Structure 1
């Protein structure tokens, strides 16, 4: 049986581990809130971009003069390679987070029935790579997942540069984002977003929507420059949302894992403390019996 000293060490270690787990729960909850707030703040930004696209699309079509940088070049689903960006985690202790998004992405990729030479997989987060490679998928390029909210913007800008290069040099005409989408502090589900080519129905819907006032605003800058700038902002928002949702979901998964770990630690602590009390009581009882026996011998 374990000694009293050993049980005391076990209790002390479990209590320290419980404190660490509790702190990680707090940090995960704080991170979820800030990432969720950042994603929510994109709503008004997205609305502004859509209004700008409506103005320029309506004006150019009304005038019968399409801009030089017409979105048609981004609408066509011409023959080319398909680039897949899968968002995972850079850190551990987040449960089945990476496994779930990997399984979902692989299942969706298989539905597309793309030949291996026409498929380019880009992993964001090193913890994701083993799950994809174990299924026989080769990673064309991997990127580090930002560790904080402040790191998302620079990472999105870097990804936009890579996407432009992939389109120009690697003939990647289709780009799909796979990432976990947050639903609550403790739940999320895998989702996907077609970044390229642009959704023709989506642009048509923007162009046909009702304007709130009688007169559509005018613009003085060249329409090709304006629409190009608006679409760049749209791509920025789409990538930023994917990073934000993925990081929020990662922390939600970590929060659940820490809750399970905390429960297990509490159960072990209860066992250790119960065993410690029982053993200490047995030791006290033994000492009393020895005293009584010694006393009886001295009286005999």
Structure 2
């Protein structure tokens, strides 16, 4: 195989790679937009549940007492990436989590890649589950998570729950945020100014518990969807960089192909000229031989 043929085969491979990278970049961009479109509705639902809690607190004969227990038995929920090609996204998330984790804390990880990285670093993971890849899958992942959390709370294994996630910022780097989920700070949720006691069909305490559960569910769903947006923003940036690198290499290969093609053309011309001169010399010899006595 000639050098030109080898270069052309390499160019064909790079063209395919460029298409794959471009498709992954486009898909990541679509996922970011999906998450951004879903977040306002999720936040609106969380606000509605917060307002409902504030109203339900008016039904209680006295303020719900806040639980002040040791903070060592804490669960930290880490929202990490489910798939690869996200640069240092998982590393940054895990490093930030490790900076605040105490020896007795439990680490819960949403995201297979984040859990795998934690295991590689020797960090014990109490519970893990794949992160949703689209906003529509976030509620299912959160349902499994809350079932595990509430079960451990009922068994007295944890008394505090925090969630850590990446928040996407358009035109800027994603930030890492930590939010206290449980126990709820009911003081900030009390209706201000105090409104009329609402009408209700459930007893006050079960009603309040259901509203709190829905509020926590909404906050966790928001964190998961924010993480989906951040993960795909990181993937988009990685694919953008890869696309630029592949494009540069492809341009270099195309230039090499032009040079190789020119070299082959030059070589063929030289062969033609050399052959023509040889034929001219042979013809002169034949003429001289025919004229000889």
TM-score by length of 2: 0.88
Alignment of 1:176-255 (within 5 A): 176-184=162-170, 187-199=173-185, 203-207=186-190, 209-210=192-193, 215=196, 217-255=198-236
Matched, 1:78 2:69: yes
Alignment match, 1:53? 53
Contact kept in structure 1, 2:77 and 2:162, CA below 8 Å:
yes
Contact kept in structure 1, 2:46 and 2:219, CA below 8 Å:
no
State the distance in 1 between where 2:168 and 2:81 align: 14
SS of the residue aligned with 1:295? helix
Matched, 1:103 2:91: no
Q: How big is the shift at 1:132? A: 2.3
Q: How big is the shift at 1:274? A: 0.3
State the distance in 2 between where 1:163 and 1:93 align: 30
SS of the residue aligned with 2:107? strand
Q: How big is the shift at 1:71? A: 4.3
Matched, 1:161 2:161: no
State the distance in 2 between where 1:239 and 1:220 align: 27
Q: How big is the shift at 1:2? A: 7.3
Gaps of 5+ in 1: none
Label 1:142 to 1:2 Cα distance change in 2 as closer, same or farther (>3 A).
Answer: farther
Alignment match, 2:289? none
Contact kept in structure 1, 2:43 and 2:222, CA below 8 Å:
no
Q: How big is the shift at 1:59? A: 4.0
CA RMSD of aligned residues (A): 2.1
TM-score by length of 1: 0.86
Alignment match, 1:298? 279
For each residue in 1:107-136, what CA deviation from the matched residue of structure 2 results, as whole angstroms up to 9, or x when unmatched? 222xxxx3x2x2211222121134323443
Q: Which of 125, 136, 151 is matched with 2:122 structurally?
A: 136
Gaps of 5+ in 2: 282-293
State the distance in 2 between where 1:147 and 1:170 align: 32
For each residue in 1:120-170, what CA deviation from the matched residue of structure 2 results, as whole angstroms up to 9, or x when unmatched? 112221211343234432112221112333321122111111111111225
For each residue in 1:210-240, what CA deviation from the matched residue of structure 2 results, as whole angstroms up to 9, or x when unmatched? 36xx755433431112111110111101110
SS of the residue aligned with 1:182? strand
Larger Rg: 2
SS of the residue aligned with 1:83? strand
Contact kept in structure 1, 2:18 and 2:243, CA below 8 Å:
yes
Contact kept in structure 1, 2:8 and 2:257, CA below 8 Å:
yes
State the distance in 2 between where 1:205 and 1:176 align: 17
